Amino acid sequence: MIDFELEPQVVKRAELYHAVALNMMRSIARKYDEEEHTQPWDFFEAMWAASRQEAGAQPDSAERQGARAGGRSVETAVLVEEMCWGDAGLFLTIPGPGLGGAAVRAAGTPAQQERFLARFKGERPVWGAMAITEPGCGSDSAAVTTSAVRQGDYWVLNGTKIFCTAGQLAAEKSDGLVVVWATLDRSLGRAGIRPFVVERGTPGMSVVRVENKLGIRASDTAAIVFEDCRVPLDHLLGDPELKRSAGFKEVMATFDATRPIVAAMAIGVGRAALDFVREFLAAHGAPIRYGLPASRQTALEAEVVEMEVQLKAARLLTWRAAWMFDRGMRNNLEASMAKAKAGRVVTRITQKAVELLGPLGYSRELLVEKWMRDAKINDIFEGTQQINMLIVARRVLGYSSAELS
């Protein structure tokens, strides 16, 4: 039996995170949306100090961003939802291992995990990033062309990666790391793809561009070039022996951890818009009357109730995927279902919120239009809506990727 009744300590932490979202994130959300590429260092320092204060019995920032942590992924989803209720872009800037840390935990040996993640317990803010998408390789992660060639005691990486979340912060602004997915042997296809840790300051790694984006503008999204970038042999994560059973499966293991967290991000944004609409309507004499039969609801009430139903359905799918991950159960079907559902739901909710509020919703006076822009990325990154629906279809119907593509 799955029971998602939250424990009292989780409820208390969620209340604390909500206060942070309201008082520290909402107040600067518009500023860092309009001043893209300006980095909120006061916010970074405050969040880093808070994460260090929580260290010990509480989850660290790597666990907050989706790594397995002894049964804490549901809690992580709850807390991420609260933070993204505050601001999704700022959430993505919070110092910590991020997607890079999730990859280290999914693919690295215990010794590698301890060594590479130790830097995230220091005095100064540190970021991790993951580099997998390429100019000619988006949703089909198996088509990676960045190469890794062994030369003596080093791996030499060559290639270009794009759309790396927190890539600039990890590669240039802190003692961070970037986990790069590269192929050792293209003839092996997916099995030849392996992850490598590239630390800040490594010669041959350079940030060549930071994207201008529609939404989540507070978060840096970088293009990184690797040109004869030499990393030590032990920076290849996991078993150094190339096996056909490994490779691409490690990519998927990372996504199994992170897709429920991205879904939780979407739910936070959707809830922000939905909460605002309800409060706005109540303040203007049109509160939502719950408990009425559908025949007595106004069209407006029916719209809002349907939005609430869909958001709750996405949340339950997300919590189930996280619950399964915590228990070591295969969850790639559930992770993709949660990600696809949440991405679709948040897009509809935020668009409907703008529509219901009319010209005021479309104006920059309120954050509603910003939430609509922030929402769309949840339908794209960590696997597009179409890719996640394809994964769901393959699992439900029992087809391989070769049989259903």
Catalytic (active-site) positions: 382
As a whole number of Å, the end-to-end CA separation of the chain is 34
Residue 27: CB atoms within 10 Å? 11
Q: How far apart are CA 305 and CA 260, in angstroms?
A: 24
Q: How far apart are CA 348 and CA 344, in angstroms?
A: 6
Cα dihedral 391/332/268/307 (nearest 10): 50
What stretch of H or E contains 148?
A: strand 147-151
Q: What SS3 state is found at 295?
A: helix
Q: Which of 92, 18, 143, 137 has the alpha carbon at shortest distance from 377?
A: 92
Q: Give Cα 344 distance to the centre of its chain.
A: 16
Q: Which of 85, 93, 82, 86 has the alpha carbon at shortest distance from 35?
A: 93
Burial of 148 (0-12, 13-18, 19+ CB in 10 A): buried
